[in-house]
């Protein structure tokens, strides 16, 4: 299982003592520590470094780590300009970009974003799918596009991504409709179900939809968004994660646990939780580190790096003594 991390781009994660320019060093450290990917979050509701700006800054100072959005909210950007920005990051990174997208969900983290963007909340999923279709058409050299929400009788030459087909596009979401759309149209799945059993059920639905659409069994990368806090003292891990949940999500830990995947506690406890998601089918895990400042983020990065070594997340192989059958 590949393991990646989120860059702590939110202001509350690097203030008051931190400097956001230190995020460049954090990205380098993540690559040096062997992580498979580095993701950034997107929002207008909390102060943060804009995600595509962050990835553009990180691309030239890293070499092989995959760069991703989790999840980019296309409603916040004009679609043609967003296609150009994404293609540019893919070029600057040498084809290392993965674009996970979302449409938001009811409540304080969804509808206000549409109001700020002056885009209707209704039919947001259809609008998202059409925006992705427009991006792909632009990257493929389309000169026109006619859709329900976006219509361009004449398109200018587009910035061409590093890869001819453009960066892979994943979908975040676990409703029945989102699972079906993931299987039919997207290259990966990045949900955060609170239980491994929910993940397994959702992945089965994604693969069924992919098969019905005539796609290959491995057409959709199964990924997972998970909040992680590693601490030798389980109670200390719980207290810090509760403070993190209140600061980052505006809700107590117990409320967050009902809607998002969380792995916290001792290294052994966290490894056991991640192993259950791997057994449920997750192949690429992206961890949001539960720490309240940049120094704490670095500490958690090192602890997760130690945990992510194969011996820590792979069940031990029984070694037979000499002479045994």
CATH code of the domain covering residue 47: 3.20.20.30
Q: Locate all alpha helices (DSSP H) within 4-110, ordered by sequence.
A: 11-14, 22-32, 51-58, 79-92
Tell me which residue of 199, 180, 168 sits closest to 72, measured CA to CA: 168
DSSP 157: P
Query: Taking 50 as the threshold, does the pLDDT of residue 260 lie above it?
Result: yes
- Band (pLDDT 50/70/90 cuts) for residue 310 is low
Q: How large is the average pLDDT for residues 14-29? A: 88
- Alpha-carbon distance values, 290 to 66, 210, 214 (Å): 21, 34, 40
Tell me, yes or no, whether 322 lies in a domain: no
- Band (pLDDT 50/70/90 cuts) for residue 244 is very high
Q: How large is the average pLDDT for residues 87-106? A: 94
Query: Taking 80 as the threshold, does the pLDDT of residue 176 lie above it?
Result: yes
Tell me, yes or no, whether 325 lies in a domain: no
Give the mean pLDDT of the chain.
92
Q: How large is the average pLDDT for residues 165-175? A: 95
Q: How large is the average pLDDT for residues 53-65? A: 98
Query: Taking 80 as the threshold, does the pLDDT of residue 184 lie above it?
Result: yes
The whole-number pLDDT of residue 133 equals 98
Query: Taking 90 as the threshold, does the pLDDT of residue 325 lie above it?
Result: no
CB atoms under 10 Å from CB of 325, counted, come to 3
The whole-number pLDDT of residue 15 equals 72
Tell me, yes or no, whether 109 lies in a domain: yes
Tell me, yes or no, whether 320 lies in a domain: no
Which residue range is the domain that position 221 belongs to? 2-312
Tell me, yes or no, whether 148 lies in a domain: yes
- First and final CA of the chain: distance in angstroms? 31
Tell me, yes or no, whether 323 lies in a domain: no
Q: Which of 16-20, 297-301, 305-309 has the highest mean pLDDT?
A: 297-301
Do the strands 221-230 and 97-101 form a parallel or antiparallel pair, or are they unpaired? Answer: unpaired
Lowest mean pLDDT among 12-26, 30-44, 260-274: 12-26
Q: Give me the half-sphere count of Cα atoms (radius 13 Å) on the Cβ side of residue 314.
A: 10
Query: What is the total count of domains within the chain?
Result: 1
Tell me, yes or no, whether 59 lies in a domain: yes
Q: How large is the average pLDDT for residues 34-54? A: 94
- Band (pLDDT 50/70/90 cuts) for residue 111 is confident
Tell me, yes or no, whether 182 lies in a domain: yes
Q: How far apart are CA 245 and CA 253, in angstroms?
A: 6
Lowest mean pLDDT among 36-50, 146-160, 299-313: 299-313
């Amino acid at each position: 299982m590949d393991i990646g991390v989120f860059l702590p781009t939110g202001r509350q994660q690097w203030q008051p003592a931190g400097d956001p320019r230190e995020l460049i060093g954090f990205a380098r450290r993540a690559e040096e520590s062997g992580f498979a990917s580095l993701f950034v979050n997107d929002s207008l509701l909390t102060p943060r470094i804009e995600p595509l700006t962050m990835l553009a800054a990180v691309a030239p100072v890293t070499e092989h780590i995959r760069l991703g959005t989790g999840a980019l909210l296309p409603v916040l950007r004009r679609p043609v300009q967003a296609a150009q920005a994404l293609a540019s990051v893919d070029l600057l990174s040498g084809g290392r970009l993965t674009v996970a997208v979302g449409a938001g969900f009811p409540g304080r983290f969804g509808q206000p974003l549409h109001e700020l963007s002056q885009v209707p909340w209704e039919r947001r999923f259809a609008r998202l799918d059409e925006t992705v279709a427009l991006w792909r058409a632009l990257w493929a050299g389309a000169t026109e596009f006619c859709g329900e929400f976006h219509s361009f009788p004449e398109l200018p030459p587009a910035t061409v991504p590093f890869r001819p087909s453009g960066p892979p596009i994943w979908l975040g979401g676990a409703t029945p409709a989102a699972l079906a759309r993931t299987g039919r149209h997207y290259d990966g799945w990045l949900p955060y179900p609170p239980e491994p059993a929910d993940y397994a059920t959702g992945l089965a639905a994604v693969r069924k939809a992919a098969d019905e659409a005539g796609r290959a069994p491995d057409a959709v990368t199964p990924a997972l968004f998970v909040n992680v806090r590693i601490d030798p003292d389980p109670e200390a891990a719980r207290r810090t994660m509760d403070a993190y949940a209140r600061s980052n999500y505006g809700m107590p830990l117990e409320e967050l646990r009902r809607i998002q995947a969380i792995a916290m506690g001792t290294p052994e406890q966290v490894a056991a939780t991640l192993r259950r998601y791997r057994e449920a089918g997750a192949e690429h895990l992206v961890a949001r580190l539960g720490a309240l400042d940049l120094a704490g983020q670095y500490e958690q990065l090192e602890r997760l790096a130690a945990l992510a070594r194969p011996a820590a997340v792979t069940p031990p192989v029984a070694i037979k003594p000499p002479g045994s059958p």
